[in-house]
Amino acid sequence: MNNLTDNLELLTPEFALAGLAFLVFVVDLFLPKDRKGFLPWLSIAGLLALIAGSLVMLWDEEELLYDGLLAVDAFALFFKIFFMGLGVFIILSSMDFVKNKLDHQGEFYGILLFSILGMNIMAQSRELLTAYIALELLSFSLYVLAAYAKGDARSNESALKYIIIGAVSSAILLYGVSMVYSTVGVTKFDDIASALALAAEVSPALWVGVALILVGLMFKVSAVPFHMWAPDVYEGAPYPVTAYLAIGSKAAAFALILRLVAEGFVPAGDRWEQWQLIIAVLAGASMLVGNFVALAQKNLKRLMAYSSIGHVGFILAGIAALSSSSDLASNGVMFYLVGYSITNLVVFAAIISFFNMTGKEMIADLGGLADHQPFLAASMAMGMFSLAGLPIFAGFTIKFYLFTAVATEGLLWLAGLAIFSSLISLYYYLQIIRQMYIEPAPAADGGGDLLQAHPALTQRPSLTLLTVLGSGMAAIIWLGVYPKPLIDTIQAASRAILP
Amino acid sequence: MQWAWLIPVFCFAAAPVIVVFGRYLPERGSWLSILAIAGGFVVFWFVLNSWLNADVATMGCFISENSGMLTCDYDRSWFNAGVIGAVGSVSLHWGILIDPLTIVMLGLVTFVALMVQIYSMVYMEGDPRFGWYFAVHSMFAAAMLTLVLADNFLLLYIAWELVGICSYLLIGFWHERPEPREAAKKAFIVTRIGDVGLLIGILLIWRDVGSFGMTDAFEAVRVGVMTHGQEGMSQGVATAAALLLFLGAMGKSAQVPFHVWLPDAMEGPTPVSALIHAATMVVAGVYLVARTYPIFSAYDADPLLIVAIVGLVTALMAASIALVSTDLKRILAYSTISHLGLMMLSLGAFGYTAAIFHLMAHGFSKALLFLGAGSVLHSTEFQDTGEMGGLRKVMPLTALVFSIGALSLGGIPILAGFWSKDEILLAVSDNRNTAFLVMALFTALLSALYMGRAMFIVFFGDLKEKNNHAHESPIGMTMPMALLGVLALGFGLISFNWPGDFGGIGTFVFFGHGEEFHFEVWLGAVSIVLAVGAFIFAYLTYAKRSIDLDYARSRFSWILNVIENKYYFDEVYQWTIDRVVLGISGFIAYFDRAIVNDIIVNGPADVAREVGIKMRLHITGHVYAYVLGMALGTIGLSIFVWLRTV
Amino acid sequence: MVDLVWFQLLSAALFAIGIYGVMARRSAVLIVMSIELMLNAVNINLIAAASHMEGIGSFANFDGQLIAIFIITVAAAEVGLALAIILRMFRNKSTVNVDEIDLMKW
Amino acid sequence: MNDFNQVALLLLIMVPLAGSLLMMFMPGEDKKEAWYFAIFVSGISLALSLIIFARYDYDLGGFQFIRTYEWLPGPLDINLSLGIDGISAPLVLLNGIILFGGVLISQTIKHRTRDFFVLLLALSAGVYGVFAVRDLFFLFFFYELAVLPMYLLIGVWGSSTDFGTFLRTKEYGAMKLILFLVAGSILVWVGILAVYVEAANNGAATFSLQGLGVLAQTGQFDPTFQTWVFPLFMVGFGVLAGLWPFHTWSPDGHVAAPTAVSMLHAGVLMKLGAYGIIRVGIFLLPEGADNWMPVLVSLGAVNVIYGAVSAMSQKDLKYIIGYSSVSHMGYVIIGIATLDNVGMGGAVLQMFSHGVMTGLMFLLVGAIYHQTHTRDIMVLKGLVGRMPVNSFFFAIAGLASLGLPGLSGFVAEFMVFVGAFRTYMPLAIIAVIGAALTAVYILRLLARTFLGEADPQWPDLKDASPIEMSVGAAFVGIIIFVGVWPEPLMRVINVGVQTIPGV
């Protein structure tokens, strides 16, 4: 046990991030009301510094801390950078909204930073309790953020639903942990793997435990049948928070699942091969339910919620295809996560700026957007096409890569199902594009012209959002056309977790 | 001789020039087209001459194993389907084949076309689409000449179709009126039906022989016959091919039941009728049968029997209709059909030479008749014989040449038609049973009758005063008529064997072996009696009006009815098209929209949306329901895990 | 010493009761309490297991207790947060009956 | 000049793509400049395609202009490997021609001009890509790229029509079209994955058509597998080729689409399907193809008859042409299904000739519709009086489509017949009869629309504009040239067809 305090410096980024969060809180106390605009920039600067720092510090480090509770490896690094980068863009795209629609800006960013910290730790934790703590750190911040629009009943409702279901699910998760622990006495992923490997003489409690752990995680990624909270929470939460939920928390949960499965289940050999089917079924159900129900949606955020359920199905398919023989699947999952998150980011940035202008959130309100906001419409359309998986956009490449991986793992039927449901998804994505490009602009609420009712529609979106949109679109096309560099890094990352 | 291809090329060249630059040229470039065809006519003489001087030694020439005629074949590659030499690759050619049959047709086409075009210069004067008319005319001439020159079926088919489309354009030349439009469409589609047969036949032959070359096909047939179908073309294929080819021939040559388009085609300008629907295009069918005679006559020549029967039926039916029709041009049209029938009959009766001979004689005479009719219409603006009469007083020359044509076709001796018809009757009496002969003779009688009728009604009797303004046509129209008249008069004389090396047409165009001209006295006598009698009867009836037919008319009114309604062919076809064809297509169109589109296509889409709408109800918005869902899910998942592990 | 199975049964029962409560109760506050019940079931399970487990070498295996302590703290935080949110809910809608909290559905 | 061969195909794809990307940032929505720029770009790509076609060495044969850019090596082994053979060379040329023509006559697009051309160029880039790549991934990539812009092109710039008994809105047409095509492409996608997996199981995981082709040649793919997977390609690509009964998207799409889009849609896009069947289906799964050809050829025959018959009783010009395209693609399908070098060559030639022919027809219909705002052949009449040139061109196109000798259509159809006669004689006969049916509706169309008294309804009806006239003249020239002297095309097509397995 002497290595408990060894090379703690490898955790500097985490400590620094926590410090940054507190700093934001403190500074917030001393800033006058009209100067709060400084805070987001502070946090962005901090995050950027952290990204640079951790890149310098942790470049190809391979270390296990605290007797293997935490891993500092390429996988963790990859996701840390990814999460912190996401954080930067989320903050960028939420600035205006927070300034105009919410109070207590300072805490908002502080809590955001804490959640990022939680995500980072999730990406590197190799043990159930640690993972759980990180998860709760993330979840709590999200509960708070979801409730952030204090005056808004919908925001409250979403937060309430979120916290209740979240709590139940984490209780289930913990119950699973406790059962696993009580049967095999260990909580580290690799120990679990070795325990599972010689599972013949172990009690069924172990399976149930594993099943419950799975439930807990599936809830986090809102996979069918643990998805019901997602639409409500997405719809009610303030816009940036919804974006954050859809992009950040999912990615983090998948990072955790990826590591758990890769280090905890896959080495168990044929045991895992038996369980692949279970994940595959969940994946298939998520795809179908998410995409079918999305067909019937009218509210933008809610639509995005269902569509994200569908995409979770795709990613789960990749998880189900994880195997010790090839890293194709894990590459696919990470690749998909990156591409999907960036695309989603663009879409949400567009939705947010549309909301900032009009305060509307129905699909029907998008009518004629292409006429008075061409750039916004273009970026939205690009995002939609990418989500639908059409080429020269990221969506196509990531889907192709992931589904190929799934197919090679002998799950061709699942790949086929995925491809089919992405056809279904095409329909509602196109509906949005149709609204923006083909339908005329609707009348304002009181009748009368929309543009007079919302003069903001005639000015261009704020600079911060434009940067998010622009860089996001560039990234989408880049990933769609030349993903090689990214995939090389991803390969390194997945080598770190796969045996 | 290998320069014969120049003949069509002149005209091919003329057409586009006129279309594009016509409006900038004097006379809209019509003279270009005349120049081209005249050039063709000149070249024709060179070809004839060089053929007469040619022998087996000449390049590309040989004695055809089938027809026994000196044949010259000049082949050019067009393009290759499939890499040259590779297995299954097909090389397509266009080459020319020259034998007496070709030469005869060349002469006919170039000459008549030349005459008609000169005639048209005047006839079509002042028409808004003057240039276009001549462009299409030379296009037609080119296609027709290619047709008779073709040495392989592919080229023949190409020319065949081009001829068809030109005829379509010319029939529908005055498209502002609905009738020509419809007539043109009818003509093209009806012939097209025959063409399907032709094309299938061609492909069938190709499939068997492996080449589109006619000589190759004939060779295959010959080998087949010699080896009794062991190798070469088997009897089945030969018969099927022959019948399919004949289908095409029936379409173009307006044989029953495809004859319906020709009378309507008279909606076109009269010169067009003269050239295309009397002298040249409609005989393409006869030419095709003659050209592919080896296939027809192979083995025991069953196809020829069918050819004979179709020809006979056509001849009779058309003649009978011509007898009662009152429209001058339609009378001529039906007479054309009838005579085409006779040619087919003659081919079907192994009267190869006779058929070709009659083809020429009829070509000249009928062209003459049409031009005459044209000049009548030109001056009277009437087409219905009821409106005419006594015109010989105002337009003597027209009357004269028209009469020549009529008498010639009616079979009055010395004139061309007499000799050729006599040859036909001879062939029939030699090779087919008496029934054929009797009906053939009856047809001859009828044709003399209706010719006489037309002639006497139009030109004899007393002039109606509404026709007082009528006048003789200008020289541009009469000159060609006169020239044709001379031919109609004297052409028959080439049937004799003259001193010198020319032993009559029988030794020039023949199949198998040349025959000197000979004349069956009793047959000739019978036909003369019939013809003369018919003309006298017609004279008494229609010129003198001394015989009254009302009794006969009322007595046989029902027959008359049937005949006057053209045996109800059009009605039947119309019904079929309206009820059957359009019915089906309407149904398909409806099916495509209502079933395929609205149900099979939209159905799934609606179902999907419905599924979505129903499925979303499971998210009730109540948190405990969600928890319930989670709990159930948890239990289910645990069970699933359990099942998968133990 | 009592056999581990009994503890496990107890915790299972508690957990079941808790989840039942979450589903059956209509007052948000009571739902939160039921969730507490579930978490405590987990704690019982963990501690019992830990106490029945022979550790590595001379050490006893304390992981169970550790986890339980963590859970207790986390649970406390959770409750606090939940109650805060419920309070806001009450401010805005003057009800905490989850039946009436369904602005968003389908 | 050899270094040109190195980059030729890359340029071919990149010029329109870059053009469309550049144009995205062009200021001003409805500027005429967009049109000029598009003309410039499409002109360059036309020149490129001409050069490439001219420099394709038919004595050498096989794939030429080969170049491979490493894209994603490793387990997936996806690389952007370019190269065209005798089959794709004429189609590349075709695309160049149609695109240029389509852009030229699109000066009528006044609304959001820029976006229109952005999408049009992107589409054509996709088409070029499909013809030029030799990698399954990129083939599919460009295939989808060619499909995706259609939605907006039709949805935004299209036109809705009320047919009395039923209504066809542009939204419906566009949505139907894209869903159909993507539905087809998902089958293709599954097929591609299946092939890849099979190849991986044979220890040669790759997406390179070349590598997979080698596997196929050496019989690595087990016949039953081929028999199971080929239908995926057959139907999946077939949808785009208008294969019955998956054809209904095509006429509706035409009716809704603006002129230039119709031209590209019928002229080039439908060819992608047929090309895909050859390039992917037959090249990679020869045995499977062999087993399925009877089905395919029967479907092709149904196409011919069904399309012709339903065209007969249509009243909308675009519907007639749309259904006639369905009918004519039937010949292409039959030709492909013969697996006979003549028939196959005929199919490729038919793709080319039908492309030009239909492009011309839609061009002219567009010119008419632009002035009369109707396409109903019951309303239109006597146009020849007012627009003689337009009518003349239309007549040429129509005659070409009814297979009049001397025009391109005949040569192609004739070769298809020849091939079919060698292999499936009864169906060949049906096809020949279909050719006769074509005459019926084409003549009906010509007679009703163009012949007859000039209609006083449109007193100031102008003839085709100089641009339309020159484009039309060029197309007519091509039709006649190919009809009279197909050799230049054929010798290229021949060598291409020669390499098809099973031929």
Whether C and D touch, i.e. at least 3 CB pairs below 8 A, reads as no
- Pairwise CB contact (< 8 Å): B624 & C23: yes
Q: Which residues numbered 58-117 in B keep a CB inside 8 Å of some CB on D?
A: 78-83, 86-90
Q: At what angle do helices D286-312 and B582-590 cross, to 10 degrees?
A: 120
Residue C72 touches partner A, C-beta closer than 8 Å: no
**What is the 3-state composition of chain A as percent helix, strand, coil, each rounded to the nearest 5?**
80, 0, 20
| Nearest-by-Cβ selection for B596 from D248, D341, D490 | D248
Mean pLDDT of chain B: 85
Of B394, B486, B406, B474, whose CA–CA distance to B124 is shortest?
B474
Type of residue found at A302: R
Judged against a pLDDT cut of 80, whether residue D28 lies above it is answered with: no
Structure tokens at C96: 């905490």
Q: Which residues numbered 33-62 in D keep a CB inside 8 Å of some CB on B?
A: 61
How far is the alpha carbon of C1 from chain B, nearest alpha carbon, in Å? 31
Three-class secondary structure of residue A393 per DSSP: coil
**Closest CA in chain D for residue A419:** D186
Judged against a pLDDT cut of 70, whether residue C56 lies above it is answered with: no
Mean pLDDT of D379-405: 86
For residue A471, the model assigns a pLDDT of: 93
CB atoms within 10 A of CB B143: 27
CA angle A279, A280, A286 (to 5 degrees): 90
Mean pLDDT of D117-121: 90
The rounded distance, in Å, linking the Cα atoms of A214 and A220 is 10
Residue A428 touches partner C, C-beta closer than 8 Å: no
Most confident option among A365-369, B31-35, B211-215, D229-233: D229-233
Judged against a pLDDT cut of 90, whether residue A205 lies above it is answered with: no
How far is the alpha carbon of A316 from chain C, nearest alpha carbon, in Å? 24
Entry pTM: 0.91
For residue A200, the model assigns a pLDDT of: 64
Instruction: Please report which residue ranges of D202-313 form alpha helices under DSSP H.
Output: 209-217, 223-240, 249-256, 259-264, 270-276, 283-284, 286-312
| Nearest-by-Cβ selection for C104 from A182, A185, A232 | A232
Q: Is B566 left (phi over 0), alpha (psi -120 to 50) or beta?
A: left
Most confident option among A397-406, B454-463, B547-556: A397-406
Judged against a pLDDT cut of 80, whether residue B515 lies above it is answered with: no
Structure tokens at B101: 């049959």
Mean pLDDT of D77-90: 89
Subunits with 3+ C-beta pairs closer than 8 A to A: B, C, D
The rounded distance, in Å, linking the Cα atoms of A429 and A425 is 6
- Pairwise CB contact (< 8 Å): A426 & D182: yes
The 8 Å CB, 24+ separation contacts for D373-376 are: D375/D161, D375/D316, D375/D317, D375/D318, D376/D315, D376/D316, D376/D317
What value of ipTM does the predicted structure carry? Answer: 0.89
For residue B19, the model assigns a pLDDT of: 84
Which pLDDT band holds residue A341 (cuts at 50, 70, 90)?
very high
- CATH code 1.10.540.10 for C4-93: no
Judged against a pLDDT cut of 90, whether residue A254 lies above it is answered with: yes
| Nearest-by-Cβ selection for B634 from A215, A292, A424 | A215
SS (H, E, C) D411-448: HHHHHHHHHHHHHCHHHHHHHHHHHHHHHHHHHHHHHH
Which pLDDT band holds residue A333 (cuts at 50, 70, 90)?
very high
Type of residue found at A304: M
Backbone angles phi, psi at B122, to 5 degrees: -85, -45
How far is the alpha carbon of A137 from chain C, nearest alpha carbon, in Å? 9
Whether A and D touch, i.e. at least 3 CB pairs below 8 A, reads as yes
Higher per-residue pLDDT: D291 or B543: D291
For residue B618, the model assigns a pLDDT of: 86
CB A271 within 8 A of CB A265: yes
Which pLDDT band holds residue B503 (cuts at 50, 70, 90)?
low
Of C2, D169, A360, whose CA–CA distance to A368 is shortest?
A360
Identify the H or E element spanning A64: strand A63-65
Structure tokens at C74: 């986390």
> Could you tell me the sign of the dihedral formed by the alpha carbons of B625, B627, B628, B629, in that order?
positive
SS (H, E, C) A400-454: HHHHHHHHHCCCHHHHHHHHHHHHHHHHHHHHHHHHHHCCCCCCCCCCCCHHHHC
Judged against a pLDDT cut of 80, whether residue B137 lies above it is answered with: yes
- Pairwise CB contact (< 8 Å): A156 & C48: no
Of A316, A276, A310, whose CA–CA distance to A420 is shortest?
A310
Which pLDDT band holds residue D127 (cuts at 50, 70, 90)?
very high
Query: Among residues of chain A, what percentage have pLDDT more than 70?
Result: 98
For residue A79, the model assigns a pLDDT of: 93
For residue B501, the model assigns a pLDDT of: 62
For residue A1, the model assigns a pLDDT of: 43
- Pairwise CB contact (< 8 Å): C98 & B623: yes
Residue C35 touches partner B, C-beta closer than 8 Å: no
Structure tokens at B621: 């918005």
**Closest CA in chain C for residue B623:** C98
CB B259 within 8 A of CB B567: no
B571-586 tens-digit pLDDT: 888 888 888 888 888 8
- Pairwise CB contact (< 8 Å): B581 & D312: yes
- Best mutation target among B602, B624, B641 (most A Cβ atoms within 10 Å) is B641
Q: Is B55 left (phi over 0), alpha (psi -120 to 50) or beta?
A: beta
Beta pairing class for D161-162 and B77-81: unpaired
The rounded distance, in Å, linking the Cα atoms of A247 and A259 is 19
> Could you tell me the sign of the dihedral formed by the alpha carbons of A278, A344, A94, A456, in that order?
negative
The rounded distance, in Å, linking the Cα atoms of B358 and B511 is 15
Of B220, B200, B215, B108, whose CA–CA distance to B151 is shortest?
B215
Structure tokens at C23: 């589903």
B249-260 tens-digit pLDDT: 999 988 888 888
How far is the alpha carbon of D251 from chain B, nearest alpha carbon, in Å? 11
Judged against a pLDDT cut of 60, whether residue A409 lies above it is answered with: yes
Non-local (6+) Cβ contacts of B544 within 8 A are none
- Pairwise CB contact (< 8 Å): A156 & C88: yes
Judged against a pLDDT cut of 90, whether residue C104 lies above it is answered with: no
Lowest-confidence segment of A308-322, B16-30, C65-79, D121-135 by average pLDDT: B16-30
**Closest CA in chain B for residue A215:** B634
- Pairwise CB contact (< 8 Å): C42 & A205: no
For residue A470, the model assigns a pLDDT of: 92
- Pairwise CB contact (< 8 Å): D171 & A438: yes
Judged against a pLDDT cut of 70, whether residue B598 lies above it is answered with: yes
Structure tokens at D57: 């060495």
Mean pLDDT of D386-412: 88
Q: Which residues numbered 428-467 in D keep a CB inside 8 Å of some CB on B?
A: 428-429, 432-433, 435-436, 439-440, 443-444, 447, 451-453
Domain residue spans of chain A: 269-499
Q: Which residues numbered 49-88 in C keep a CB inside 8 Å of some CB on B?
A: none
Strand partners, D114: none
Q: Is B80 left (phi over 0), alpha (psi -120 to 50) or beta?
A: beta
How far is the alpha carbon of B577 from chain C, nearest alpha carbon, in Å? 57
Q: At what angle do helices A300-320 and A328-358 cross, to 10 degrees?
A: 170
Mean pLDDT of A45-68: 84
Query: Among residues of chain B, what percentage have pLDDT more than 70?
Result: 99
Mean pLDDT of chain A: 88
For residue B568, the model assigns a pLDDT of: 84
